[in-house]
Amino acid sequence: MTTTLCRSALTPLTNIVTLLPALALSLLCNVATAQTGAATATDQSAPGVAILVPTSNTRGGFLGRIEVRNFIAEMNSRLGIPTSELELALGSVTAIPQVIDLIKPPANPGIRSWQRYRGRFLDHARIEGGRRFLADNATTLKAAEEQFGVPKEIIVSIIGVETVYGRNTGNFNTVAALATLAFDYPPRADLFRRELESLFLLAHERDVNALDFKGSYAGAIGLPQFLPSSVRAFAVDFDHDGVIDLRNSPADAIGSVASYLAQNGWRKGGRVTLRADVKPGADVSTLLAAGLLPSFSPAALSQAGVSSGAGNQTAEETAALIDLVTPGEATEYWLGLQNFYVITRYNRSSFYAMAVNDLAEALKGLPESTGTGGNKKHERTVRKPHARVVHPRP
């Protein structure tokens, strides 16, 4: 423990201090301590006795900060998580500057390009890897499709886009990453404090050490890259082994992705997108400004100069107008239906949702295995009963 001697800071005041009561000494000590860069006095002693004061970088840096102490106190009083658990975790890690660098928007973001973005995810690694993942998990995917109503290709595509089927799940300590963002990144501090809270709830409920969680620089966990709040709300034990393990169990990842989409409104058998035809000269700025929520009827779209191409939007289907811009090329326009909107609940980006949809379409044309029923050697058994929601394993 790094300490500072308050006594040395008071040397010029010795004659005065000896005339003051103990309370006044404590106040003077706190002032002197602040001037020397130390934190809070741990002992208020009589004159002439050295007082040990922890500096701000004691025990990893976080515990010496007032906002962290307030966070711990609030978690304890509101949620009943023992202070000792929180102090152990936050006192064992330090801030990770790299996390801030990675999450900051680029200083020069450049021009958005749909084709460039699409190319990052519809590559050989994800298409060939998706074929293998479909084969290795055929029975599990069928069970998830039957239970949640989400096509297996959509489930696999999301896992492929997120982590290349578990290849890139991240190796940041999740407590350290979330604490860094919660207390050192003001633009999104509220979000990451909520996620840090959810992480401690996960650890407390599962009776595991919060420090055992590993994930992305943003605190996302496992094959599907769930933030801790999503783990608690949507993750399921789909291999029925009594724990949710999104990092090591493809079955749990598959069931959890399907659960997430189903609970966010996925329509079984529904389409994701329709090609949109925009009349030359039509002003679609109002439609685009409305965002991703599918709120326009065929009549409203037609009045604005937009119609569906092959496939035809039914009278019951509302849609959002989606523009996919590539510099130097004609803008692609699509109608995003309810299931497209649901994918954007996973990541609030039209580019992301369309990449997931396109990868899923690419996977539809691939053989699932060289035999029948997938690769049983690598697939974990999935029973038919509904998945149980239990506490996750780090």
> In the structure encoding, which two tokens stand for residue 139, read together?
């029975």
8 A C-beta contact, residue 333 and residue 322 = yes
Q: In the beta sheet, which residues pair with residue 388?
A: 237
- What is the DSSP code (8-state) at residue 372? S
Active site (annotated) includes residue 162 = yes
Tracing tokens 């990868």 back to the chain, one arrives at: 359
Q: Of the residues 162, 197, 317, 379, which is catalytic?
A: 162
> In the structure encoding, which two tokens stand for residue 9, read together?
């800071």
- CA atoms of 345 and 341, how far apart (whole Å): 7
Q: In the beta sheet, which residues pair with residue 320?
A: 336
8 A C-beta contact, residue 278 and residue 305 = yes
> 335: Cβ–Cβ under 8 A, 6 or more apart, which residues?
273, 274, 275, 276, 301, 306, 308, 313, 319, 320, 321, 322
8 A C-beta contact, residue 372 and residue 186 = no
Tracing tokens 């529904």 back to the chain, one arrives at: 270
The packing angle between helices 114-121 and 350-364, to 10°, is: 50
Residues labelled as active-site residues: 162
